[in-house]
Amino acid sequence: MAAKIIDGKQISADIRAELKAEVEKLKAKGIIVGLGVILVGQDPASVSYVTAKEKACAEIGIYSDDNRLPENTSEKQLLELISRMNKDPKINGILVQLPLPKHIDEQKILLAVDPAKDVDGFHPVSVGKMVTGQKTFLPCTPNGVVQLLLRSGVKLDGAEVVIVGRSNIVGKPLANMLMQKSPAANATVTICHTRTKDIAAHTKRADIVIAAAGKPNTITADMIKDGAVVIDVGINRVADSTKKAGFRLVGDVDFEGVSKKASFITPVPGGVGPMTITMLLYNTVESAKTASGV
């Protein structure tokens, strides 16, 4: 058996095309969709990520209010900027790129964002609504995973899902989303983590295995059953002298081995990664629609 590749790039492109059409309809009604972006410092990964988000906004017609601030920006200055964005009707979503410099309290900053503009889905109000099944902004990477599964025709209703990883960004919210009483969920979910005694005992019975542990080869072929669906959220750098950069990107899954046994699998790169920014754009468009009463 050779697994079918779930092409995150193509699915992401399809969703962005749908969003572009929605943005154009809103513009025709005089509604401009706006995203406020805040980056403090010059962390290379953050700079790259924010640049990609700004490019994606431009591609589908979203106005981007870009704020790249120096490393020594004070917490007070950052809170004042967020307060301005909260009050600005042209801004439908606010993105504060993490991590922030050590002298700034990340929790205080995230709490300062108006929940109505929390397009990252990190505010406790958004998290609480997600857990209780209310309409809210869903965290971008977990929602991207769900969209990949749904648009690939993978059945979630009644499925046994094992998530390896319990982070606040992926593992915990994804588990909550998949267990909701909803046509796009209704799964039975198990979370494994560093204290799980025998991860393979759980993954071997799973219809869907989602790896979000942050460690290469966390999931190997002997850990899944034939025909399982495998979603790889991990992004890890491993040394590779054949590459110009001196490294290559791999996920948390042994792709070569697992792809011979699974029914569906996501590659790294090109699987979950492209979906994260796309779902941020989706949340921003939804925020604009809600704010304008559309």
Told to judge if 120 belongs to the known catalytic residues of this protein, a careful annotator would answer: yes
What is the C-alpha separation between 263 and 287, in angstroms, rounded? 36
As a whole number of angstroms, the distance between CA 31 and CA 167 comes to: 36
- Which is catalytic among the residues 97, 117, 232, 252? 97
CA nearest to 288, candidates 139, 137, 97, 134: 137
Q: Which amino acid is at 184?
A: A
> Residue 128 has which token pair?
């609480």
Residues 231, 148: contact at Cβ < 8 Å?
yes
Task: Give the whole-angstrom CA distance, residue 86 versus residue 123.
Answer: 14
| Short-list 211, 250, 215, CA closest to 233 | 211
Q: Could you give the 3-state DSSP secondary structure of residue 249?
A: strand
Can you say how many angstroms the Cα of residue 2 is from the centroid of all Cα atoms in its chain? Answer: 27
**Beta carbons within 10 angstroms of residue 193's beta carbon:** 13
**Strand order across the 93-96 sheet:** 63-69, 34-40, 93-96
Active-site residue (options: 7, 53, 118, 261): 53
Distance from C-alpha of 211 to C-alpha of 234, rounded to nearest angstrom: 7
Name the token pair of 256.
């070569």
- Locate 3 and state its tokens: 């697994």
Instruction: Say whether 90 is catalytic.
Output: no
Indicate which residue of 7, 117, 118, 120 is catalytic. Answer: 120
Burial class (CB in 10 A: 0-12, 13-18, 19+), 130: buried
Q: Which residues participate in catalysis according to the annotation?
A: 53, 97, 120
